[in-house]
Chain A
Amino acid sequence: MSARILDRLREQFGEAVRATFSNHGDECAIVDPARIVEVCAFLRDDPELKMAMLVDLCVVDTLGLDRREGGRFEVVYHLRSMASGRRVRIKALVDEGPSGANPEIDSVVPVWRGANWFEREAWDMYGIKFRNHPDLRRILMYEEFVGHPLRKDYPKEKRQPLVRRDFS
């Protein structure tokens, strides 16, 4: 049943769907990051799929994980259809630009409003720049914070204190 989602995607987008697989009962498609908005809009609007809900949007930093190729960061979208209850996971692989510039991908806020904060979080934690995002600011950390803490190369205990006072 669920494999039909991946078939539909492949029919519709052909080469832009780079790979599809399913394990543990989760359907997953890796798509071309340049066409992510198109793919998402199709998934939402297609009368057969109707993926109306963006359940989750997160990023995986694959630094140190050797099985990936094509990009250091995976932007992962979990979608659910409210009509049929089917789910699908869409992935887009993005890489850092030359000289460590932040990776970029198009924002899916025009498709699902709920993506707004999730994308802000992804920016905050991983430094993924979402083009056309209405308000891309840090959300969990403070503005003074330097770097993106959930990246694998950010040390876990590297604090950047705002205030410290000594009371002895």
Chain B
Amino acid sequence: MSQQIVLGVPTAEEFDTEEDLPTEPMKINMGPSHPAMHGTVRIVLTIEGETVKEGDVQIGFLHRCFEKESEYATYTQVFPYTDRLNYVSPMLNNVGYAIAVEKLLGITSRIPERAQYVRVIVGEMSRITDHLTCLGAGSMELGALSIFFYAIKAREWIWELLEEVSGARLTHSYVRVGGVVADLPEDFAPKLRTVIGKVRESMRELDQLLLTNRIFRDRMDGVAVVSAEDAVAWGWTGPTLRSTGVDYDVRKDHPYLVYDRFDFEVPVGSRGDNFDRFAVRREEILQSLSILEQAIDQIPPGPILIDDPRVVLPPKSEVYNTIEGMINHFKLIVDGIKVPPGEVYSYTEGGNGELGFYIVSDGTGRPFRCRVRPPCFAIVSALPALLPGMYIADIVPTFGMMNMIGGECDR
């Protein structure tokens, strides 16, 4: 009779991994071109086994010099550059910049009501596309590719509508100092209502696919927990801050435009982990849809641009037929809007949080200094502190839920 060999799994006492399989810290690069990163970012990781010991996050691969370029552009010419800051929600950047310049000009209270409503509507539509992209791409990076398709499908409906409004799918440059460039198309309201319904339906599908998905929940729940104090100290704003339980939303705390006329909630998380960041964004989409419904009901008729020849281009009929109109047009195009000397910090709620513009004017038609306060710069700056102790696989959802947008973070 041959001897029997018993094969089995060694118990923890017999098999001490630390001793038998010693590991040495190893340096690996995540990025700069990594498939699970929305933009180009490089993380130099020091890992021990599967655990991250240290991570150095390097950004700046998309530094396109927004601030330098805007010093050479007139106030109106800066709008296309703002489109490409947070390119997932261009309208919100447009609105934020316009509000900053208007504050410096002192015409904030004179912006026509209809223009303010239009800004709210296009802004909230942009916010929805921002969050949909974040949720879709974030889930795709965890392997849930179909979620990405559902989210992009819903985003496409909104983009089509925004294209009807502004003429461009993504980079709209629709807002102007003193209002918006054109009125909403005629049959906008019914189309928007249809789209709201369709996006709601899409969100329901998304919920069914994702919220009880074991793999998804396991990778999101309890990963990268951030406390409220830490988040505030890091300068976090927006959905990531709210996920830690701080209910700071610029739209509620410092209402601008006509946000004080809408009934909406500010969702806050309780744990500050990745899933909360996901859930806050998801709930914000629903809140934005509700704001859209209210705005489309309340929107009054009226002009969409302020009546002020120093700020707004004259109508084309005047430009071609009167000398005053032509000179006015020429001066506004060539010299730009003359903004009185001074400085202003204006802030709005962008897709990722508080989007601030700090503009210093020297009295000419071009900004002397146009600083943008990028929300995700502050958010990503906390990543090196969150990395130690994490698994490599945890970096992907954490980074995805921070929603770093290269254009905004690196400017």
Contacts and interface: CB of A to CB of B under 8 A. Distances in A.
Interface of A: 23-26, 52-56, 58, 60-61, 64-65, 67, 76, 78, 82, 85, 87, 89, 112-114, 116-118, 121, 125, 138-142, 149-150, 156
Nearest to A155: B68
A85 B373 contact: no
Interface string B353-389: 0101010101000001101010001101110010000
Nearest to A28: B343
24 contacts: A23-B343, A24-B104, A24-B342, A24-B344, A52-B232, A54-B235, A56-B345, A60-B371, A65-B362, A67-B341, A76-B358, A78-B358, A82-B248, A85-B254, A89-B345, A113-B230, A114-B382, A117-B378, A118-B378, A139-B58, A139-B60, A140-B411, A141-B60, A156-B72
Given A56-B373, A78-B345, A139 B59 contact: yes
A58 B358 contact: yes
Nearest to A66: B362
Contacts of A138: 60
Contacts, number: 100
Given A78-B356, A89-B345, A58 B232 contact: no
A56 B371 contact: yes
B345 A112 contact: no
B344 A113 contact: no
Interface in B41-75: 58-60, 63, 65, 67-69, 72
B341 A112 contact: no
Interface string B101-119: 0011010000000000000
A121 B235 CA distance: 15
A61 B104 CA distance: 19
B246 A82 contact: yes
Interface in B268-282: none
Contacts of A89: 345
Residue picked from B58, B232, B342, B411, most chain A C-beta under 10 Å: B232
Interface string B302-325: 000000000000000000000000
Given A55-B354, A82-B232, 20 more contacts: A23-B343, A24-B104, A53-B232, A55-B347, A56-B356, A56-B371, A58-B358, A60-B368, A61-B369, A65-B360, A65-B362, A78-B345, A78-B356, A112-B235, A117-B378, A117-B381, A141-B60, A141-B63, A149-B65, A150-B68
Contacts of B344: 23-24, 26
B16 to A, nearest CB: 36
Given A55-B354, A140-B59, A150-B68, A114 B253 contact: no
Contacts of B342: 23-24
Contacts of A56: 235, 345, 356, 358, 371, 373
Interface string B241-259: 0000010100001100000
A25 B108 CA distance: 12
